[in-house]
Amino acid sequence: MRILHVASEVYPYSRTGGLADVMAALPAELARLGHQITVLSPWYEDLAGDPRELWRSRRVRLGEIMRDGVRFLFLETPDFKRGGIYHDDDVRRFSLWGQLALPVLEEAGVETDVLHGHDWAAGLVVTYGKLRGVPSVFTIHNLQYQGRWNIRDSFAWTGLPEWMETPQQVEFNGDLNLMKAGLLNAGHITTVSPTYAQEITTREYGEGLESVLQRRQAQGQLSGVINGLDQERWNPRTDGHVQPYADMAGKQANVAALRAELGLDDAPILSCVSRLAEQKGLDILLDALPEITQHWNVVVLGSGDPRLEAAFASWAERSPRVRHIMGMNETLAHRLYAGADAFAMPSRFEPCGLSQMIALRYATPPIARRTGGLTDTVPEDIGFLFDDATPQAFLAALSDAQAVLADPAAWNQRAARGMPLDFSWEGPAREYLAIYERVGGKG
């Protein structure tokens, strides 16, 4: 099949989070399975790549990079000639970009059997796909981000016919909603774990769109496909960022190295590599620090909410058992997975999550809330799961972990179970292929 993926970011050319990683790994696996895969993303001014120009008009150009058997196309419009990926006017930028995407690809001779849009930034492309008769799949990576703007000001940006300016199409509580456009106009909706697919049909997790999702579920058009993990990039046996290891003796060498690097004492190390946001439960971790630091060292890598950044920085200044490193550092992230004893994921919600999969492969049991993809991927005999999004529940799970840690043999046996787990992309890719065949009329 000829499959076109559309997303706002793709590793290694543009990245702020897990969506970019999916856009590198899933297309590559689909190509490996014998399909013709194209990925379309914006041509950002500071794109980490040098596309070969394919097509140009007075204000628009299209470039190409071939990698891993995948054709990556980058569409530049005037609004993307600026640094960074996301900005305050993104609803306008992606609306104007989205209405141009399919016509430009047609001009460039790109043919598509199935369109696969990812998150709100691709919602308008999926909508235009339906108007053009292109079968489509739309994946929710995080329902919280919807691409909303006052519809009186924004509908004209879409270029859609007037009859679509309704609650049955793109209007949502007085706003243009690009996520809703994708949900209503795709042939099938997926999200990135089976548990999250159920959660988003409830009021608690549905972000106001639960009724739309309930209808699509009742029609058999909503499913969850767990994300895979890049097995080469995240492999402790071959990882060049750490001391490669295949057993718990090698793991302990990395724990010792991280302890020395960061100047930590002999208490066990709890690490966290995350965007600092309430969604990720970082405020829960923060509120639990007074008790955690009685027994654990805590190392947090990440940035985000300025209040959380300031709070962790303050803790790092006054506590010898807390370290906070701002931003994202690829090498240090690998060392934190390899060198910590346990990994913190107290998420309020987690559509899929990749950190817990990495931690498991690196023999670092997750301390994780039982939600979304964490429920689907963290085995109860390896990680330590808790239900309530509270510091008390998190601390109780951490106490359970500490009790096992007191018996090194039992801990090593438990942690080692995660190393051979299969989080490859082949299974998810085959699930997507079955969905493509259904929506494309070939299944």
| Structural domain includes residue 236 | no
Digit-coded pLDDT (tens) for 300-354: 999 999 999 999 999 999 999 999 999 889 899 999 999 999 999 999 999 999 9
| Structural domain includes residue 6 | yes
| Structural domain includes residue 162 | yes
The answer to whether residues 196 and 340 belong to one domain is no
* Number of domains forming the structure of the chain: 2
The answer to whether residues 212 and 271 belong to one domain is no
The answer to whether residues 331 and 431 belong to one domain is no
Structural domain span for residue 355? 248-416
| Structural domain includes residue 126 | yes
The answer to whether residues 308 and 369 belong to one domain is yes
The answer to whether residues 287 and 207 belong to one domain is no
Q: Given this model, what pLDDT does residue 442 score?
A: 64
Q: Which helix (H) or strand (E) holds 392?
A: helix 391-405
Residue stretches of the chain with pLDDT short of 50: 443
The answer to whether residues 142 and 212 belong to one domain is yes
List all residues 6 or more positions away from 123 whose beta carbon is below 8 Å from its beta carbon: 98, 117, 138, 147, 178, 179, 180, 181, 182, 183, 185
Q: Given this model, what pLDDT does residue 317 score?
A: 97
Please give the model's pTM, rounded to 2 decimal places: 0.92
The answer to whether residues 179 and 296 belong to one domain is no
| Structural domain includes residue 243 | no
The answer to whether residues 40 and 167 belong to one domain is yes
| Structural domain includes residue 233 | no
For 3, phi then psi, to 5°, come to -115, 130
Q: Given this model, what pLDDT does residue 177 score?
A: 97
DSSP state of 247: S
Among 357, 352, 374, which Cα is nearest to 231's?
Answer: 357
Instruction: Give 220: exposed, middle or buried? Use CB within 10 Å, 0-12, 13-18, 19+.
Output: exposed
178-185 vs 210-218: helix crossing angle, rounded to 10 = 10
The answer to whether residues 123 and 25 belong to one domain is yes
Query: How is residue 58 written in tokens?
Result: 């007075």
What CATH number did the domain enclosing 49 receive?
A: 3.40.50.2000
Query: How is residue 337 written in tokens?
Result: 């997975």
The answer to whether residues 43 and 100 belong to one domain is yes
Digit-coded pLDDT (tens) for 103-155: 999 999 999 999 999 999 999 999 999 999 999 999 999 999 999 999 999 99
The answer to whether residues 67 and 24 belong to one domain is yes
The answer to whether residues 206 and 299 belong to one domain is no
